[in-house]
Amino acid sequence: MKYSKAVLIQTTLISIALFIAGKLAFEKIFKFFEPKVAGIIFHVTEVDQKFDTALLFACTLALVPVFILLLWRITPIVLIKKKWMSVLVVLVLMVVAIWIRQNSVQSYYTSLRKNPMVNFSNGNQYPTDPVNLVYYMFLGLCIGCMLSYLLFRPKRAKR
């Protein structure tokens, strides 16, 4: 199945728009995703400077439409209903991956907060490197694409 140039151009433009939005809104988005733990204030900081986390986040967002278009081409998914369902599966699994990461961080800091041996003397502010959230998002994207492939590929007749 071949896609027209218009579809490729639209996908490229959507990817570019998502990349720019992800790069510009990086800190606001991650402040929104940080868990809420009583007595602890998180602030976004990059611990490891090998990778620019904002760039990784923007690239992950930009890859979503590209991966979905590749999924539609490889599978091939032609029905509009199946296309929308595949997009929904990918987005839901990305959200689930973010939720899992957020709950694991919240669980860790909640248990840390309850530990009487831990000293909270630095104003209860903790730096968090959100690079793991980006990895979880990318993993959700990949698993969503694989699951969509398995669910929506055309069934072959048994011989």
pLDDT confidence bin for 68, thresholds 50/70/90: very high
SS (H, E, C) 4-53: CHHHHHHHHHHHHHHHHHHHHCHHHHHHHHCCCECCEEEEECCCCCCCCH
Closest CA to 72 of 90, 54, 45: 90
User: Residue 20: is its pLDDT beyond 80?
Assistant: yes
- The Cα–Cα gap between 63 and 12 comes to 10
Greatest distance between any 2 Cα atoms in the chain:
70
Domain boundaries, given as residue ranges, for the chain? 5-152
Per-residue model confidence as pLDDT tens digits over 88-118: 999 999 999 999 988 888 888 777 777 766 6
